[in-house]
Amino acid sequence: MHRHEMAEILFDLKKELEDNQALDSHERQTMEALAEEIEIKLDDPQADLNGDQYLLTKLKEAAEEFEANHPKFTNIVGRVSTLLSNMGI
């Protein structure tokens, strides 16, 4: 996965977390944890972003949870999932 693309998605996710007041505490915690995991991966130059099945699973779970009530979050999570899928993960 291209770090630049993932960094852009992380920026969008953080922006949406700042702007969206409609999230309940569980939803906010889930998305903040996801953003933190992505950020940790990006900060580690040794991290293999191309083979991260765990991150893909977390993204799919988040997408399912937010799909109906939070379309912007679903879009962001979907972008990450698409990047991972395009890499064959």
Give residue for tokens 């991966």. 41
Under the banding of pLDDT at 50, 70 and 90, the label for residue 63 is low
Q: Provide, rounded to the nearest whole percent, the portion of the chain with pLDDT above 70.
A: 78
The residue extents of the domains of the chain are: 3-86
For residues 45 and 36, which has the higher predicted lDDT (pLDDT)?
Answer: 36
* Crossing angle of helices 3-19 and 71-86, rounded to 10°: 170
Burial (0-12, 13-18, 19+ Cβ within 10 Å), 50: exposed
Once rounded to an integer, what is the mean pLDDT over residues 27-38? 84
- Compute φ and ψ for 21, nearest 5 degrees: -95, 0
b or e along 72-84 (b: 16 or more beta carbons within 10 Å of the residue's beta carbon)?
Answer: ebbebbbbbbebb
**pLDDT band, very low/low/confident/very high, at 31 (cuts 50, 70, 90):** confident
pLDDT, residue 68, reads 67
